[in-house]
Amino acid sequence: MQISSFIQFFLREHLPPFLQWCKKHPAKAFFSILGVLIALQYLMLPYNSLHALRKENPHRTALMRQRESEASSAGKPYMIQQTWMPLSRISPHLMNAVVCSEDGTFFEHSGVDWYELEQSVEKNLEKGKAVRGGSTISQQLSKNLFLSTSKNPLRKLKELVITLRMERILSKKRILELYLNIIEWGNGVYGAEAAARKYFGTSAANLSSEQAARMAAVIPMPLRVQPNSGSVYIARRAGVILQRMHVWGYE
């Protein structure tokens, strides 16, 4: 029997009874289908790619491809600015500012800050919409490397599984190095070196604490504000980050 004929036969014989079962047991059907989707997504996760990231730097990320597609659909040109830098050539001020801003327990957790995640879920349920994020640096890296900016629950599930795997495969130092080199810092601007050159005319190695705080301040909305702008929001946010850096002993 040909494959197409077998599929038709299978669906004809088994689909109607399955649909009837779903109607009688909607809750069981929901969780059964969800389980199948989770299993399929798990099998499609980038396991080998994570191992390769121990020594190899990614050339193009999922976010870059998404932005290129969005620009193409709008009929606009899109040029990527990125210069890879090892962690040793990135200012400690920037590393500290990003950790203070995005993930204060980065060096303690195993990829997910469960307390922050719980608080975010409770806040979002209370407001009835997404008003607070709970993503760690590792989760943001997973999303940018392999997924998209979609709020789809399955995308968030894949992000969680990839993050937990990533933390077992890569060191914290490597995760931070990857993050600082692929994070979006403006339209087509990726990574600390390209951003430092564009906004402050200097290398990522030479960023001052104030410049680093401003760069960290725009990470949640890199397409709406720039680190060197006169934005009141950026000035206030950078001030909060600088204060955290001082309190936490990051000089």
State the Cα–Cα distance between residues 32 and 24, nearest whole angstrom: 14
Per DSSP, what are the bridge partners of residue 81?
A: 189
Contact 115, 80 (CB under 8 A): no
- Tokens representing 154? 């399955």
Provide the pLDDT for residue 215: 97
pLDDT band at 158 (very low <50, low <70, confident <90, very high): confident
State the Cα–Cα distance between residues 193 and 39, nearest whole angstrom: 39
- Tokens representing 82? 């990125």
What would the pLDDT profile of 192-214 be if each residue is shown by its tens digit? 999 999 999 999 999 999 999 99
195-222: b (≥16 Cβ within 10 Å) or e: bbbbbbeebbeebebebbbbbbbbbeeb
Question: Which pTM does this prediction carry?
Answer: 0.79
Which residue is listed with tokens 């029997």? 1
What would the pLDDT profile of 33-46 be if each residue is shown by its tens digit? 666 665 665 555 66
The predicted model gives 212-237 an average pLDDT of 95
In this model, does residue 1 exceed pLDDT 50? no
Which residue is listed with tokens 């810092």? 185
Provide the pLDDT for residue 7: 53
- Tokens representing 210? 């104030």
Provide the pLDDT for residue 8: 59
DSSP assigned state of 108: T
Name the architecture of domain 45-247.
Orthogonal Bundle (1.10)
Length of the chain, in residues: 251
Contact 85, 204 (CB under 8 A): yes
The closest alpha carbon to 183, from 169, 174, 173, 193, belongs to 193
Q: What percent of the chain has pLDDT over 90?
A: 56
